[in-house]
Amino acid sequence: MRRTLNVIRLQLINRQTFIWVPLIILGSVTVLGVLIYAMIPGDGPKYIGAGQAPLWYFFAIGISAMTLTFPFSQAMSITRREFYLGTLLTATLTAAILGIIAVVGGFIEQATNGWGMNGYFFALPWIWENGAISAFLFNFVVAMLIFVTGFWFATIYKRFGGLWLAAALIGLGLLFVAGLWVVGRLDAWGSVWAWIASQGVTGMSLWGLVLAAVLAATAFLTLRRAIP
């Protein structure tokens, strides 16, 4: 466990990647969003999903955590298992911090009537439909899922190279299009949207957590034979 915690320290040597850049993104989009709300006439509620902007940056974090830090960790005689667990723990801590910030931001918006302009970044109704815990879970899971996706692609690249990574991307794209074709062919879009609505934000977050766990497990299998 001590060596795994050392991996967390290794990942956080450059705090810009995991901490400062996400916070800068969040602060910037919040300021820009407030300025946009100030320019929109009318007293009706205004919604922008800018509060989730830092979550998408986790894709780049997942890639850099593997491609930049993994070779260095192997030079320090850190095992692949220790690197894997330490990196996931680092992402978990950072995602939890962003989830807490999103919840605090939601409470501030509710207390100030949307920054005094009835404008909301964090307290979006569909995310807060089941309260603060559900909102935290959503933001946490989305951040982890995006991180693990970037990490998964990076392990494919380090193990098989750019050609197989491109093949994997094309294959996933074809599977996605095939899925859309099947749903359209069966005229099942109504059932699909009804199922998503029945799950709610909490249910979809839990499904996202399952998907993140599957990607993380397969990433570890690939990491075991990845070339530093």
Domain presence at residue 216: yes
Decide if 3 contacts 82 (C-beta within 8 A): yes
Burial class (CB in 10 A: 0-12, 13-18, 19+), 222: middle
The one-letter amino acid at 105: G
The verdict on residue 169 lying in a domain is yes
Name the pLDDT band for 55 (thresholds 50, 70, 90). confident
For the CA atoms of 58, 64, 65, 70, the dihedral, rounded to the nearest 10 degrees, stands at 160
pLDDT at 147: 92
Is residue 64 in some structural domain?
A: yes
In this structure, what DSSP letter does residue 50 have?
A: G
Mean pLDDT, range 198-207, rounded to an integer: 89
How many domains are contained in the chain? 1
Where in the sequence is the domain holding 32, given as residue range(s)? 2-223
pLDDT tens for 175-186 read 989 988 998 888
The per-residue pLDDT for range 116-142, each reduced to its tens digit, is 888 888 888 888 888 899 999 999 999
Assigned domain for 228 exists: no
